[in-house]
Structure 1
């Protein structure tokens, strides 16, 4: 299912978290659980991956991650503000030191002039604070989702730091 390159990156990430004695959580929308799915391809990942939230709907984001309805109404599900709230909610709802979130428009539909297909926001929550990253990926739905998984892995690596 995943490329050898992604498996190698995930294994290195799992080992880095294990060595640091840290655990992580994921909060995913447009990736639909692919980040957690990739991590669980690695034997022993249960020592590191504490839990994953797949919150595709706005209701799920509110109910499972405590994303404020006001944030969703003001900025939309695909926004820096929502990505940060998702990551913060995942961290608060997990027994982990780091949480990553992913929310975006994978396509082929759903884009607009302001928020085109391929726009993805990421959140990272740690004890040091909550941060976000904005990326615009090209390609079809699968390409956008896999690029988002790669970016989430990179953020999780930064979260140890």
Structure 2
């Protein structure tokens, strides 16, 4: 087992704040939150979609249920670096994420339909089903950003 979490259930609230607000917030959270293992990271994502942009169009409509597929890395990866292939679903405001880890080079084989050895064949099968269900799915958008990540001092699942 790789030691990384493969299955998540979270309620996410995301905010963009200016620097003065961030500084005030960090002072208020002192002692309650600590830097997590990916504290200061450049997050790199490749989002997949159909030729008609079915997934993003559905997401914009704010449905009760939506889903997306992405490849995520913490840092700018090269072929030998580990990345996550993630299936992210949101239902009634709760996020469910299932992911497997492989090298960036292995993702090319995986998306080409080849088997990639993995500890969790269930999640791999779910990803393969997703790829078959959404005809013509392919990389559609690259999104990268720098992030400072914290988790709860007493409850690390709080992020």
Give TM-score scaled by structure 2 length: 0.30
Q: Higher RCO, 1 or 2 (CA under 8 Å, sep at least 6)?
A: 2
Q: Report the structure number with the largest CA radius of gyration.
A: 2
Q: So what's the TM-score if we normalise by structure 1?
A: 0.30
Q: Which structure: greater helix fraction?
A: 1
